[in-house]
Structure 1
Amino acid sequence: MLTLPQTFWKRNRSFKISLLFCILTGLLSGWLIVTLIQDNRQVADDARGNAVQQAVDAAREISLVLDTVPVLADRLSQEIGSGQLADEDVETRFLSLLEANPKVSAITACFSPEHLPDFVVARGDDRYCPFSYTDENGDLFIQRIEDSYDYTLPHGSIDSSGEPVNTYWYHSPIGEGPVWDEPYLGSATGVYWGGYGIPFYRTPADGEVADASGRTPAGTIDVSLTLEQFQTLVGELDFGDVGTGYGFIISKTGDFIYHPESRFVNQALNITDYDPQLSISVINGTSQTEEGSTLSVFNHVDQQSGRESWLVIAPVGPAGWWVGIALDKDSIIQRAALVEENRRREVEIAMAVAAFLFFSALVYIIQEHKGSNRGYWKASIIFSFLAMSGIAYIWVLTLTGSQEPPKNDVILQEQAITSKIVSNYLEDSDKLMELPTGILVESVNFASAHNVEFTGYIWQRYGSDVPESMIPGLTDEVPGFTLPQANIGYNDDVAEVFRRVEDDEVVIGWYFRSQRRQQLDYAHYPFNREDLRIRIWPPDPFGDFLLVPDLASYRSTIPEILPGMDTSELVLGGWKAESSFFSYRDLNLNTNLGQGISANQVVLPELLFHVGLRRQFVDAFISHVIPLLIVASLLFAVLVIVTLRQERIGIFGFSTSNVLAYCAALFFVVVISHISLRDGLDAPVDIVYLEYFYFVIYTAILLL
């Protein structure tokens, strides 16, 4: 059995207590560090697991919908080809199937010119292609494709109107057999479709070439879903907090079938356009099995915003498509509550480590010096050094740490997430129109401690869906926006500076000057950070416009690059701009503004533009901290020099009256500096951080 030397038990009580606290604080420090790392890792793992589960569930749900499409198409092919379904009853049959299968958007049967039904030939037509579909209201319609364009033309041919036609969906099944279509824009409907095509057969006529089964293709059956349905399927996924993620679907070749940003579908962009490091071959090559399903997991960085996401891509079996889930890492890991909690725990770790080092040094001093004056001096020096190191660590942590995100806001930094949020609002209203709005801040001036003056430009893009009567005119007194809580005269402080027409859009820009009272927080002075906000509303908060940040007008939306800020000549006087970004905040009004709608309802979110500022520490350090350090040093010098020995009093020249006079002089200096501090901050109500150093000096003077 291990036995300790008897000399250990003979040491004084101070040594034993110090050793005990040294061990306890060491264990506490290790435990705090390990739990912080594990908890942060658990948050990341939970978020990643949520993205994986969402992708698996979405792929499974979409597969269940798509599984019914080939079955339905094959049944119709057999019914028409065998004659079980009379040609005259095709349209009626299609309508009944659409009514029985609400998730199917359209059914089409296009007959080849050689196998037209007899009743079509009898009426003198040379084409027959009934297209049955369900509109957005659930009503059923029949449209004949041949009335819009010639579906038998080669794919990409120019029709009589001079426009290229999409006939791939008709020719591909006849030439290649059953196939899932790549997403395409319907030439007759102007709607994006994705579906499954299969040929139907008839007995070959004289001179026709038959296949191995003795039949010849007589036309194409196409069962389709609109991309709006895919949007609904993916849009209903729950990503937790608003603004944390979005979903998309790509085809077997990597083309986008659905994405919150419509340009990915409208411009036929590929997964490589979304992320240059991705392709279908890369996705297939990195597939792995998680949650019982095959999927691929990547780290994706948005090219415009710089935000990093977990990207989970899972296969959709029947069509060879892929469903992707992008979950924003920053929104998960840098939540305001989590950032604040981590900062508090880092301070706790620093205090525990400092305590461990102090008691370790104390054990050494007691063991080596056994209560001598030299030991006390060493203990005092070590304690002072650790205290100053702790203060310096907290300062560095505050200066280098990132600004906490707004607690009640949804940050609009990435275009895809913004589009996802906007689409959720648009789905709730048939009249609501999005109005892209941008801002460029030219100057920021602190008129007083709580009043901030802004100047700059605000522009808006009015699309072709906006009635001309709703576009602000040159003579309108109020522009297309208002700035709540701002001291602004719209006739004097807002002026229209440009109006242009670009691609069926009217772009109007105004120059503005406004002063807004901000609730600035000086509690952490001189380490305070301020979030200056410009609130932007439409003229009628209950109206038909939803203000949307015009992120596409910015080269980059990375907050640290300061999008929306003219940094070339920006003078902030004692402040440094750290970030700028847009956000949404729910706006709850306790009035209906006399418009006859129910009071206390939640209206549209308000658009905010944030400017994050950090105070320059050097100015406060030179004007306040250095004088306090000098005063503290002088007090320590007096404490060392003062003596009770009569023979030394004459040498140093210090008596009780001299010490009191000296302390009074120092007190007067500190009080003047303290008053100057509070006057400079416009008499803040709360005690600011720097004032605690003054209170320490006051206490030291009294104790001396």
Structure 2
Amino acid sequence: MKTYKRLIQSILIILCLLSFTATIFLSTRYVQYKRKALETIQIDAQKETYAAAKKIGEFVTTLAPLVNNLARKLSEKTLSKKEIIELLRKKPVTISGFGVSFAPQVLDSPDSRYAPYYAEKNGTQELSQLELEIDYTKPECHWYHLPFKKGAQFLEAPSWNLAEHILIGFAAPFYKRNTEKKQIPAGVVFATQTAEHIKHMLTTIYLGKKGYCFILSHDCKILVHPFDKYSQEQNKLQEIMNSSQEPALHTLAQQVASRKAGVIEYQNEINGHHSRLFFEPIPSTSWVLCHVFPYDEIPFDKNQSRQTIMLLSLALLTLFTCLMLLIASFIKLNTVRLWITSFVVSALLLFELVALWYIIWHMPPYKKDLIPINDKVGLYAFLDTIAHKRATYDKEYLQKHTAHETKKVSTEARHEPKLSENIQRILHYRYKQHGYIPTGIYIQHMKFITENQLEMTAYIWQRYFDTIHDEISRGFVLPQAAVTKIAEVYHTKEHDTETIIWQVRATINQRILYVKYPFDIKDIQIQISHKDFNQKIILVPDLASYKIIHPTALPGLSKEVYLPGWFIANSYFGYKITDYDTAFGLYSYGPLGIYKQIEKCNQPELYYNITAQRFLLNTLVADLLPLAIIAFLLFVILVSSTVQGYAVLGSCASVFFGAIIAQARFRGKIESYNLIYFETFYLVMYGTILAIVLVSLLYMLKEKIPIIHYKQNLIAKLLYWPAILGILLIITFRYFY
């Protein structure tokens, strides 16, 4: 007996050492992984912020050569008004305004002023005469007077009193020689960038990548922000700093004033999420670019993290359980101490099970089956890839419908100051190709009418361009919809762009798997296709219509959308590449058979995806509570089985029928042909009922079995809760590891 006891103690000591070693190894590995991931993310974010600041600085500095070239021409020779206007008209589209203001004494009439100004207004380039709007010779017009005093220079918002919301401009003086051959000030050439232009630059290149960006002035006023309300209330951040107790915001103010780069942690101004803010001075300006990176967007590998933490928790459970059993092995045990040991082990197993549920809920097993589109650069790269992969790509048709656009862009590029080729391409990219149609969605109401059918009310809009889309009909279809009601609510045409908005009420069929219930992730995927099925049309997400496009900001969802029992985690656009194995009857038939067959291969289908995660409270009350009561009743039956005799069979039968009814209710609620995680709990209960019946029958046999008859079936009673909880732990690992 002593040898047997020592063997058990030796095994427990070995298990303690192994589990302790595993705990140290796994915890160190997890901490190092998170630290390395955070360091990598921080380095990448700092590089991205630096690159963005540099590109915005490059975007701003394109003003200088344009202005200096025209100022030099005006200084060297006299140009007619018509020639000046033509030079201004040829300004690059990347610059919002370009103008000349002449000194009054230079022109024929000594009191006359002349200031032609070409600027973008309402999407078109318009010529205005500033002399009719303002008297630029007054002292408050710093953009006119400062270049004469200090030479050509960049001037920021306070120096500009023009009508537009100008953030920065470059102004250079030009001179003429008078009759005495002396140079006199003749005027100022200037070019400007508005907040809208800089915002377009910022959002086009960095919209939705990770977090969001905004621009601060040297005194912490918000100049450009994805949400206009923050840039319109420029003192918003200053007010937050004054009212906040966070020292990080005051550190930001000091660093911005001293034009230093850095990083702080704070609660972001949009949703209050804990975030990191990376900031970098923008060259040629006094501004600072801020890149906000919420912690809930940190791209950890959740599957790897979940598996590591699950193993770590198992190692800790093994360590504490073995320690407790080891201590118990050195103590003389009686019935009370055996019950205490059983309940402590059960408590450890229950704690481990709850801990696993907590880990799984925060790091659910999830794999995207869409190609996500979270920023414009990623979208353009995806479209280029598809264009090259298409074997039946109609080059002649594409060339026919994009020739005028290519010519227009190349003509503009000849007059445009030097700007990196990649930025040029991205800024000029307007989806203006035959098969690309910008499409957006905004869901106002959504609810599940069955487990696999979604009812929604939404607005869907599309934009069409003249010449490019002349041969394409207007409209869309929802292939998954069982019932659809579509009503056009808005139709407008501005310049060469036609915008149509529809209100949609639809019942959408969804294929949702419930195998991991209640820790399942519900991917609500809404497919949007164009109605011209016979053409190779790609619907592209109209990202410019959304303020912030990163998934956790829930673009395309109204704040009023609520799914009872579900938490909406994110939303995003994505594509599935579909190879249809049918021609859908789209072919011609002649004397020699089939010809001109339309191939629908490598067809990108646009989806709007909403990821929802189930709240556990309803499940705990509706599904887990009945199981807990059944388990408790079975324990009572087991404890009293030595007294009940054959009556235990009737008690077990009653509990069995109760369990069947509970499972039938559970099955009626969730439509699934697979064995669901929570449904295995009922199987465990059925197995427990059979075990209790078997043990009770063996106990009533005349021939005594030591393991059954020891202290009136004490061993079975002691092992009841540890066995059930241990089996549930094994099942949980089987489903979620």
User: One fold, TM greater than 0.5?
Assistant: yes
Question: Which structure has greater helix proportion?
Answer: 2
Q: In structure 2, what is the equivalent of residue 391 of structure 1?
A: 353
Task: State how 1:209-220 maps to structure 2 within 5 Å.
Answer: 216-220=184-188
Does the 8 Å CA contact 1:243/1:411 hold for their aligned counterparts?
no
Residues in 1 aligned to 2:292 and 2:653: alpha-carbon distance in whole angstroms: 65
SS, match of residue 315 in structure 2? helix
* Whole-angstrom CA distance in 2 between matches of 1:94 and 1:512: 52
Sort the Cα spacing of 1:259 and 1:152 in 2 relative to 1 into closer, same or farther, 3 A: same
Match of 1:361 among 324, 328, 339: 324
Distance, in Å, in 2 between the alignment partners of 1:698 and 1:633 is 16
Structure 1 residues 157, 273: closer, same or farther in 2, change over 3 A? farther
Q: For each residue in 1:637-685, what CA deviation from the matched residue of structure 2 results, as whole angstroms up to 9, or x when unmatched?
A: 43xx3xxxxxxxxxx474xx77778767766665665566546544522
The 1-side partners of 2:502 and 2:647 are apart by 71
Q: Is the 8 A contact 1:583 1:607 kept in 2?
A: yes
Report the secondary structure of 2:41's partner residue: helix
Residues 173-225 of structure 1: CA distance to partner in whole angstroms, max 9, x if unpaired?
2366543133699999999784321323456779x9xxxxx965332233667
RMSD of aligned C-alpha atoms? 5.9
User: Distance between the aligned counterparts of 1:404 and 1:365, measured in 2?
Assistant: 38
- 2:33 corresponds in structure 1 to 39
Q: 1:694 to 1:629 in 2, by over 3 A?
A: farther
Match of 2:368 in 1: 407
Give yes or no for the alignment of 1:429 onto 2:398: no
Q: Indicate whether 1:15 and 2:4 are aligned.
A: no
Q: Which residue of 1 aligns with 2:448?
A: 444
SS in 1 for 2:344: helix
Q: For the residues of structure 2 that align with 1:358 and 1:531, how far apart are their CA atoms?
A: 39
| 1:315 partner letter | P
Aligned to 2:422: none
**Matching of residue 317 in structure 1 with residue 280 in structure 2:** no
Matched, 1:222 2:190: yes
| Aligned positions of 1:193-208 closer than 5 A | 194-201=168-175
Question: What is the identity, as a one-letter code, of the residue corresponding to 2:128?
Answer: S
Separation in 1, partners of 2:466, 2:651: 77
Offset at 1:522? 2.6
User: Alignment identity in percent?
Assistant: 16
**AA of the residue aligned to 2:368:** K
1:86 maps to 2:77: yes
Q: 1:35 to 1:201 in 2, by over 3 A?
A: same
Kindly indicate whether the alpha-carbon contact (under 8 Å) linking 1:524 and 1:690 is maintained by their aligned counterparts in 2. Answer: no
Deviates more, 1:691-700 or 1:65-74: 65-74
Tell me, in whole angstroms, the C-alpha distance in 2 between the residues paired with 1:486 and 1:500: 24
Is the 8 Å Cα contact of residues 478 and 527 (structure 2) preserved in structure 1? yes
Check if 1:285 corresponds to 2:254. yes
Equivalenced residue count is 610
AA aligned opposite 2:575: D
Q: What secondary structure does 2:673 align onto?
A: coil
Query: How far apart are residue 312 of structure 1 and its match?
Result: 2.0
Counterpart among 473, 480, 483 of residue 478 in structure 2 = 483
Confirm or deny: 8 A CA contact 2:528 2:605 kept in the other structure. no
Q: Secondary structure at the match of 1:525?
A: coil
Correspondence 1:525 to 2:517 = yes
Cα distance in 2 for partners of 1:462, 1:625 equals 53
Whole-angstrom CA distance in 1 between matches of 2:35 and 2:494: 48
Residue 605 in structure 1 maps to residue 597 in structure 2: no
Tell me the distance in 2 between the aligned counterparts of 1:99 and 1:559. Answer: 41
> 1:463-482 alignment to 2 at 5 Å?
481-482=476-477
Offset of residue 362 of structure 1: 1.4
Which residues of 2 match residues 607-646 of structure 1 at below 5 A?
607-609=608-610, 612-614=613-615, 616-617=618-619, 618-638=621-641, 641=642
Aligned runs of 1:120-131 on 2, under 5 Å? 121=108
Residue pairs, 1:252-263, within 5 angstroms: 263=228
CA shift, 1:361, in A, is 0.9
1:88-127 equivalences under 5 Å are: 110-116=101-107, 121=108
Residues 14 and 287 (structure 1 numbering): CA distance in 2 closer, same or farther, change over 3 Å? Answer: farther
Q: Which amino acid aligns with 1:48?
A: Q
Does structure 1 retain, via aligned residues, the 8 Å contact 2:157–2:168? yes
**Counterpart code for 1:339:** K
1:126-149 deviations in whole A, cap 9, x for unaligned? 666688999xxxxxxxx9x9x731
CA contact 1:185–1:192 (8 Å) conserved in 2: no
How far the C-alpha of 1:634 sits from its partner, in A, is: 2.0
Measured in 2, the distance between the counterparts of 1:106 and 1:188 equals 11
Instruction: Summarize the Cα distance change of 1:55–1:34 in structure 2 as closer, same or farther, 3 Å threshold.
Output: same
Partner of 1:56: 50
Q: Letter of the 1:485 partner, please give it.
A: Q
Partner of 1:332: 298
Contact 1:252 1:321 in 2 (8 A): yes
2:577 corresponds to: 588
Residues in 2 aligned to 1:433 and 1:170: alpha-carbon distance in whole angstroms: 44
Contact 1:433 1:466 in 2 (8 A): no
Q: Report how far residue 386 of structure 1 moved.
A: 2.0
Q: Aligned-pair distance for 1:272?
A: 4.1
Q: How far 1:584 moved relative to its partner?
A: 0.6
Tell whether the 8 Å contact from 2:276 to 2:295 is kept in structure 1 after alignment.
yes
- Offset of 1:487 from its aligned partner? 1.0
Q: Contact between 2:515 and 2:674, CA under 8 Å: does it hold in 1?
A: no
**1:114 partner amino acid:** Q
- Once residues 580 and 563 of structure 1 are traced to their aligned partners in structure 2, the CA distance between those partners, rounded to angstroms, is 14
Deviation at 1:514, TM superposition (A): 1.6
The alignment partner of 1:600 has SS state of coil
By how many angstroms is 1:356 displaced? 1.4
Aligned residue for 2:129?
149
Partners of 2:237 and 2:68 in 1: CA distance: 35
Structure 2 contact 437–463 (Cα < 8 Å) conserved: no
Partner of 1:181: 155
Q: Is the 8 A contact 2:460 2:504 kept in 1?
A: no
Distance 1:79 1:520, change over 3 A: closer
> 2:130, 2:85 → 1: CA distance?
21
C-alpha separation in 1, matches of 2:250 and 2:342? 66
What code does the residue aligned with 1:285 have?
Answer: Q
Q: Secondary structure of 2:517's partner?
A: coil
Per the alignment, residue 26 of structure 1 pairs with 20
Per-residue displacement from partner, 1:541-595 (whole Å, max 9, x unpaired)?
A: 8658655587689xx99779x945565xx8x6xxx13227542111323359859
Unmatched segments (≥5 aa) in structure 2: 243-248, 384-427, 588-596, 696-737
Shift of 1:314: 1.3
Distance 1:510 1:131 in 2: 42
* Match for residue 512 of structure 1 among 505, 508, 511: 505
Within 2, Cα distance between the matches of 1:126 and 1:698? 101
**In the superposition, relative to structure 1, how do residues 551 and 63 fare at CA in structure 2: closer, same or farther (>3 Å)?**
closer
Q: Which whole-Å deviations, capped at 9, do the CAs of 1:407-430 have from their partners, x for residues lacking one?
A: 356889xxxx77887898892512
The question of whether the paired residues in 2 share the 8 Å contact of 1:546 and 1:604 is answered with no
2:210 equivalent to 1:244: yes
CA contact (8 A) 1:535 1:607 kept: yes
Cα distance between partner residues in 1 of 2:491 and 2:66: 51
**For residues 696 and 168 of structure 1, do their structure 2 counterparts lie closer, same or farther at Cα, with a shift above 3 Å needed?**
same
- Secondary structure in 2 aligned to 1:458? strand
1:329 is displaced (CA, Å) by 3.1
Q: Does the CA contact (< 8 Å) of 1:105 and 1:226 recur in 2? A: yes
Superposed CA offset, 1:91-137 (max 9, x none): 99999999999999987654323234xxxx49x99666688999xxx
Distance in 2 between residues matched to 1:153 and 1:202, nearest whole Å: 26
- Structure 2 distance, partners of 1:130, 1:66, is 22
Contact 2:446 2:454 in 1 (8 A): no
